[in-house]
Amino acid sequence: MRFPRTNMHCRRMQRRFAETPFEIPIAIYFGAFGIASLISGNGITPHTVDMALPWGLILAWTIGLAVGGVLCVIGRFAQHHRTEMAGLILLGYGASLYAAALLVVGPAASTANAAAAMVAIATGCGIRLRILHKSQRTREIAHELRCDADDGAT
């Protein structure tokens, strides 16, 4: 039985989502929420942090999280590893900057959990980056071996 082409694309997207079940929802959240925050002019920040920090710093992590989330999702579904890696770098940067700001500016009791969550997200980005880098290097070595085998066969 042949499935329509749209069903095949749906299954492919489901498989990509199943391979990294935590990365995609987090990236979608930060992409959507970050873009909405940029449009509204608020930034992603609690009110106490918003009052204590310059707008440029708030804008820096909001842009990092928003653009990083969008690039991560695009790269994941398009299977373009460099785009996904760029998104992960920006997500990690935005989450790290946000966690640092929460720990420095906010009262420790109320911001420790949010800062810990951001550190966990940044750590997850780093782990996924390492996995992508290793797989990219493995593909490069396999390509070199195929080229060497082709040269030897002729």
The predicted-structure confidence for 135-152, as pLDDT tens digits, reads as follows: 888 877 887 887 877 766
Taking residues 51-66, report their average pLDDT. 85
Is this model's pTM higher than 0.85 or not? no
Rounded to a whole number of angstroms, the CA Rg of the chain reads 20
62: number of Cβ within 10 Å:
24
The per-residue b/e assignment along 87-112, b for 16 or more CB within 10 angstroms, e otherwise, is bbbbbbbbbbbbbebbbebbeeeebe
CA dihedral (43, 88, 17, 10) positive or negative: positive
Euclidean distance between CA atoms 8 and 19, whole angstroms: 17
Residue 85's Cβ-side half-sphere holds a number of Cα atoms within 13 Å equal to 11
Tokens in use for 4?
């329509």
Domain ranges in the chain?
Answer: 21-153
- Rank 13-17, 54-58, 63-67 by mean pLDDT and report only the highest: 63-67
Choice between 52 and 37, residue whose per-residue pLDDT is larger? 37
